[in-house]
Amino acid sequence: MVLDNLGESLRGALKKIANAGFVDPALIKDVTRDIQRALIQSDVNVKLVLELSKRIEKRALEEKPAAGASNREHVIRIVHDELVRLLGPQREVQLKKQTIMMVGLYGQGKTTTTGKLAKYFTTKGLKVALIAADVHRPAAMDQLEQLAKQVNVPVHIERGEKDAVKIVRNGLAEFRPRYDIIIVDTAGRHKLDDDLIEEMKEIFKAAQPDEKFLVIDAAVGQQGGPQAKAFHDAVQVTGVIVTKLDGTAKGGGAMSAVAATQAPIVFIGTGEHLDEMEKFDATRFISRLLGMGDLQSLLEKAQEAVEGEEGDAEAMARKIMTGKFTLNDMYAQMEMLGKMGPLKKVLGMLPGGMGAKMKDADIEKQQVQLKRFRVMMDSMTEEELENPGLIKSSRINRIARGAGVEPKDVKELINYYNKSKAMMKQFAGNRRMQKKLMQQLDFGGGGFPGG
């Protein structure tokens, strides 16, 4: 099972923004808190998280959206940028003579990545040699030998030898004078244990490696932080390599590993083959973690709904301003709400905020109600639709009969109408809110709602 709680939580937080009728300081606070919680639960350093969330909140409230960007896109962009910043400055491996030690739990991709690195450095014109220091899995040496053959580099192997440190010493003695890059592939365990950490410390002492690469599977999830910390304490990790990003895992745990080691991600693995390794690109990584593609299409959908109804929305807004509000208006408004139109924004700004907290499920429920209302409204005269105050008991019975419903259903519709109308009246009498509405609908310049 793929454990990627961090990515999921972050995506959930940003979906709140993408789905929101409009963005206000309360929403930003809410979302920032979600992000905070998600990162802290993934063992990202609390101090870093607090700094990050403070910056997100400040920027979201103070900075103006770029030209053509909505408030929603603006805030999502800020969260994205700040997470990229959390990953630290980009770092590349140096193309110089050096010893590299690979560490990580069993199955994370150490041996495969050793082969990929060998290929990478070879294509850069450096002379590479490998040392097989996994003495725990008999097949591990064969696997590395296979890879070395494919890349055409030498590998130091001592089959049957149980002392990994001895193998490393011998391998270094053999290769150091003549090779530029020496990569030591080490053993892992199914889970962290003292024995493994002790072995890593000893190899570290013997090899004095320049680079210590922690290899972690993108699916590592929340254990990423503690795992990384344990290896870091043992060998002082200098770089992280996240493997299997070609799968479904989004690499949330890798963020925790980076935070725990303060070591940047240098490469990512995107497949089993030797050339399926890429230099790490923080922007792309975070976009993937956050599901920016999905968010983008959500945002576009919302934008289309707004654009498609601009005319309707404007007419509706003007009507509300005049304080006139008929059953037909109410119906049109409910219809628009279902399409995520600007009326949701309008309702969100009303006192008692009937649209602000409106969830998708509520909107669905309302769409069912809308169908029932339509049937009843079809039994009304034009006069009644324009002036619902006329609808009293005898008319109620007539309408109910015509629509095949109970009189109480008609009364429910009238009640709903009266409530909506009362809210609209309140709105019509409030200039400050009207101004906000006009800004929201972009009839009077943009601007952040609520200032």
* Footprint of Mg ion (CB under 5 A): 110-111, 140
Nearer to Mg ion, 140 or 441 (CB): 140
Is residue 441 within 8 Å of residue 345, measured between CB atoms? yes
Nearer to Mg ion, 140 or 286 (CB): 140
Nearer to Mg ion, 184 or 377 (CB): 184
Tell me which of 71, 99, 111, 261 binds ligand GDP, using CB under 6 A.
111
Q: Which residues contact 54 (CB under 8 A, 6 or more apart)?
A: none
Nearer to ligand GDP, 264 or 271 (CB): 271
Q: For residue 17, how many other CB atoms are within 10 A of its CB? A: 23
**Closest separation in Å from C-beta 19 to ligand GDP:** 33
Tell me which of 221, 269, 291, 449 binds ligand GDP, using CB under 6 A.
269
Answer with the entry of Mg ion, ligand GDP, none that 99 interacts with (C-beta below 5 to 8 A by kind): none
Answer with the entry of ligand GDP, Mg ion, none that 104 interacts with (C-beta below 5 to 8 A by kind): ligand GDP
**Dist. CA 62–CA 268, nearest whole Å:** 35
**Dist. CA 108–CA 143, nearest whole Å:** 14
The β-bridge partners of 269 are: 277
The residue at minimum Cβ distance from ligand GDP is 269
User: Collapsing DSSP states into helix, strand and coil, what is residue 96?
Assistant: coil
Rounded to the nearest 10 degrees, the angle between the axes of helix 71-86 and helix 292-308 is: 170
**Dist. CA 389–CA 384, nearest whole Å:** 8
Phi-psi region of 36 (alpha: psi -120 to 50; beta: other; left: phi over 0): alpha
Q: What are the backbone dihedrals phi and psi of residue 162, each rounded to the nearest 5 degrees, phi first?
A: -100, -10
Answer with the entry of ligand GDP, Mg ion, none that 269 interacts with (C-beta below 5 to 8 A by kind): ligand GDP
The residue at minimum Cβ distance from Mg ion is 111
Establish if 270 lies at the interface with ligand GDP (CB under 6 A). yes
Nearer to ligand GDP, 268 or 299 (CB): 268
Q: What are the backbone dihedrals phi and psi of residue 11, each rounded to the nearest 5 degrees, phi first?
A: -65, -40
Establish if 272 lies at the interface with ligand GDP (CB under 6 A). yes
Establish if 224 lies at the interface with ligand GDP (CB under 6 A). no
- Binding residues for ligand GDP restricted to 174-213, rule: CB under 6 A: 188
**Closest separation in Å from C-beta 88 to ligand GDP:** 22
Establish if 271 lies at the interface with ligand GDP (CB under 6 A). yes
Q: For residue 406, how many C-alpha atoms fall within 13 Å in the half-sphere facing its CB?
A: 3
Q: How far is CA 400 from the centre of its chain?
A: 50
**Dist. CA 57–CA 28, nearest whole Å:** 7
Site string for ligand GDP, 274-313 (x = CB under 6 A): --x-------------------------------------
| Complete DSSP assignment for 335-367 | HHHHTT-HHHHHHHHSTT-TTTT--HHHHHHHH
Nearer to ligand GDP, 270 or 326 (CB): 270
Nearer to ligand GDP, 98 or 270 (CB): 270
Tell me which of 246, 275, 304, 307 binds ligand GDP, using CB under 6 A.
246
Task: Classify the C-alpha dihedral 205-206-207-212 as positive or negative.
Answer: negative
Q: Which residues of the chain form contacts with ligand GDP (CB under 6 A)?
A: 104, 106-112, 188, 215, 243-244, 246-247, 269-272, 276
